């Protein structure tokens, strides 16, 4: 299958481009809603397509050719498009090398930069999120990043701390190794552990007594929230049946915190983990611009995030094209 030449940008069909660089069906669900319910031309690129389908991009015209189909990306949503993520999730025998992952990451960045609407946007890395949040008046837990957990707990001088390895599911694809990275609560006054220095930095964070745990999704101004109940911090992976997920009206203080951060970061989509203290104060833990949502929807038996994600993309597409007369198509869906 050859690649056709790239011509004037007005010759190409305006489309949404969804790119799923790792696992998960989130982009497939959004694609189906856009094409089946919201009458929106959409191209879905799965991770296997990156190595099997010819693609070409002209930075001068902003046109993308996918397997011989010339399109003009108006909205581009990429998930886990970093070189590190693609390399970590490479499958044995697929031939993915570091140079391949870097080249694809740069390619997708260029395509997204040419679009009118790019998703998800960026956030500060790791503890940088907490620094920004604190400076913006959002409450955060005391945190240290260390290779020595016991020393980190002593340094924080709090009754309990949570030890976390961020993004372990993404960068450790072998589930058999996950038990090493699961979050755990450590008591300050417990006997010193025989845990050796990990050799890699981990997050040691003040344990925040709380009434509610919230997973809040920000969708370009829209908000969807779930309340999470679980016996232990690791229960999502060790005992998922013990976890309850309930759709809830997001507390106003949580909405304000999330919108404050997204405005500061220029973030269009993000999954936020928050704790609500018994006093009503909301404490920000982290935001994931590539956060998944289908597992939470299945547990809650409610697909509001998927629908809002598709509507968000549709609205960005309409805004970025001359299809204003078709906006009412959404009303019938």
pLDDT tens profile 196-250: 666 789 999 999 999 999 999 999 999 999 999 999 999 999 999 999 999 999 9
Distance (Å, rounded) from C-alpha 188 to C-alpha 207?
11
pLDDT band at 310 (very low <50, low <70, confident <90, very high): very high
Q: Which pLDDT score is estimated for 23?
A: 82
List of long-range contacts for 315-320, beta carbons under 8 Å, 24+ apart? 315/220, 316/74, 316/75, 316/116, 316/117, 316/119, 316/220, 317/14, 317/16, 317/40, 317/74, 317/75, 317/117, 319/116, 319/117, 320/14, 320/74, 320/75, 320/115, 320/116, 320/117
Rg of the chain (C-alpha set): 21
Q: What is the pLDDT of residues 40-99, one digit of tens each?
A: 999 999 998 988 999 999 999 999 999 999 999 999 999 999 999 999 888 776 667 899
């Amino acid at each position: 299958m050859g690649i056709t030449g790239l011509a004037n940008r007005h010759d190409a069909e305006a489309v949404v481009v969804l790119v799923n660089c790792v696992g998960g069906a989130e982009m497939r669900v959004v694609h189906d809603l856009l094409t089946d319910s919201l009458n929106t031309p959409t191209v879905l690129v799965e991770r296997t397509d990156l190595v099997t389908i010819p693609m070409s991009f002209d930075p001068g015209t902003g046109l993308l050719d996918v397997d011989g189909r010339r399109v003009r990306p108006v909205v581009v949503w990429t998930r886990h498009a970093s070189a590190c993520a693609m390399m970590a999730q490479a499958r044995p025998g697929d031939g993915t090398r570091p140079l391949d992952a870097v080249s694809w990451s740069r390619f997708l960045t260029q395509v997204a930069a040419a679009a009118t609407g790019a998703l998800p946007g960026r956030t500060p890395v790791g503890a940088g999120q907490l620094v920004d949040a604190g400076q913006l008046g959002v409450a955060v837990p005391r945190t240290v990043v260390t290779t020595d957990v016991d020393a980190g707990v002593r340094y924080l001088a709090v009754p309990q701390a949570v030890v976390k390895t961020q993004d372990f599911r993404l960068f450790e694809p072998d589930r058999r190794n996950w038990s090493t990275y699961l979050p755990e609560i450590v008591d300050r006054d417990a006997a010193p552990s025989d845990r050796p220095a990990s050799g890699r930095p981990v997050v040691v964070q003040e344990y925040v007594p709380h009434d509610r745990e919230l997973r809040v999704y920000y969708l370009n101004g829209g908000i969807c929230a779930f309340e999470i109940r679980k016996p232990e911090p690791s229960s999502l992976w060790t005992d998922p049946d013990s976890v309850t997920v309930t759709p809830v009206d997001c507390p106003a203080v949580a909405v304000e915190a999330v919108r404050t951060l997204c405005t500061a970061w220029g973030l269009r989509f993000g999954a936020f983990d928050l704790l609500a203290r018994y006093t009503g104060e909301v404490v920000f833990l982290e935001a994931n611009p590539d956060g998944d949502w289908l597992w939470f929807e299945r547990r809650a038996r409610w697909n509001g995030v998927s629908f809002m994600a598709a509507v968000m993309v549709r609205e960005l597409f309409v805004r970025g094209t001359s299809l204003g007369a078709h906006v009412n198509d959404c009303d019938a869906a």
